[in-house]
């Protein structure tokens, strides 16, 4: 080999040490409160899809005053949130990330 001549016998590092960018896994998460619920499909830091429903017993596009006969109880809202999140998980072949209760934030 001559000085100043690059070696042509360069070997790539083993496959396990190479960094290959994999597509980001989509995760389905949900939040619920007395006002209704929202389910989101998240890919990395990006929201890919969002579905929201109100707490009205007959019309999910509306909200009812909590505690009235038209409003669903919190337990029912949570159940619907979990069911919807699992359905969306299957439809989008994503990972289920669970649901959480959204607590109201106080205004100061």
Could you report the per-residue pLDDT of 23-62, keeping only the tens digit for each? 779 999 999 999 999 999 999 999 999 999 999 999 999 9
* Burial letters 58-68, b for 16+ CB under 10 A, else e: eebeebbeeee
Q: Where are the domains of the chain?
A: 24-101
Token output for 32: 């619920």
pTM for this predicted structure: 0.75
């Amino acid at each position: 080999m001559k000085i100043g001549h690059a070696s042509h016998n360069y070997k790539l590092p083993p496959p396990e040490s190479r960094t290959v960018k994999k597509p980001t896994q989509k995760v389905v998460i949900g939040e619920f409160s007395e006002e209704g619920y929202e389910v989101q499909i998240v890919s990395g830091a990006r929201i890919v899809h969002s579905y929201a429903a109100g707490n009205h017993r007959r019309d999910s596009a509306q909200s009812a005053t909590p505690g009235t006969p038209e409003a669903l109880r919190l337990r029912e809202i949570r159940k619907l949130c979990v069911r919807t999140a699992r359905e969306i998980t299957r439809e989008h072949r994503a990972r289920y990330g669970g649901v959480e209760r959204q607590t109201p934030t106080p205004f100061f």
